[in-house]
Structures are given as C-alpha cells and as structure tokens.
Amino acid sequence: MTQSIYILNGPNLNLLGTREPDVYGSTTLDHIEKSCLKFAAEHDLEILFRQSNVEGKLVDWIQEAGQKGDGLILNAGAYTHTSVALLDAIKASHVPTIEVHLSNIFQREEFRHHSFISPVALGVICGFGANGYELALRALLAHLKGS
C-alpha cells in the first residue's frame, strides 16, 4: 500500500534560490520538490508538496495530513519560532512529523534557537540544506516501517 507523505513549507520558502543564498543555498523549492518526488517514486510513496506564506493555510494542511496522510515533513520557516497554532495542529492531528530547516538554526540568531514544533516532532533535521528533505523522507519512511 502506497503511503502518503505531506511536505509542507512555510513563509518565504517560495523565494529559495534567490533569498539569502549564503544562508539557504541556491536550490529552488521547485528543485527540492522534484527531488522529493523522485525519492517517492523509488520508494512507493505519494508526496503532497505544498508551500504557503499563510499560517492558517498551513494549519489546514496539517489537519488534512492527520486525516489523509501517513506522515508529515514540515519546514515551517519563521513560524517555527512563533506559532502555537502549528504546534496545536500537529498535536491534534497525531501525524508523525519531522521538522526540517535548511540552515543550522543553532548557528543563527538566538530567537531561532527555540522551536514550537520540536516538542511534538519525531526529530529535527537542520543545517544540511536541500538534502535535509531527503534525510527527513528516509527517517520518516523508516519510522513508518517500524525500523
């Protein structure tokens, strides 16, 4: 049975490739999506890849992932550090979640060191750039298989 993984991306991630490439790299979100879809095809996964700058839309998608999906990979962007709403949505949805960040948030400004997502995530992957998404897919797949 094909498992469904939601990959949700928060504010400003639509600007990847041009936004602070020294911090976030030069890979675009479109390229990351294509890489995730390639991984999915090789591992019999269905990927629903989405991005929004709107917190409420992310909440809606997290709830959808809890109803229709098997797992969630979330790069909440700046909402990581501010959104109790995303925390509550993940808690309510009971969907296995992995938090992803392109940069190493612990090497950056102090306010980025706190995450509202981490307490309800299976794990956090940060600092590996676009490769973090494949690492998250591998970790989530292993979790779903029980290994």
Residues involved in catalysis: 24, 101
The token duo for 109 is: 């400004």
Distance of CA 35 to the CA centre of its chain: 14
119 residue type, one letter: P
Angle CA(112)–CA(14)–CA(134) in degrees, nearest 5?
75
Q: DSSP letters of 5-37?
A: EEEEE-TTGGGTTTS-HHHH-S--HHHHHHHHH
* 7-36-134-112 Cα dihedral, nearest 10 degrees: -40
Structure tokens at 131: 């490769």
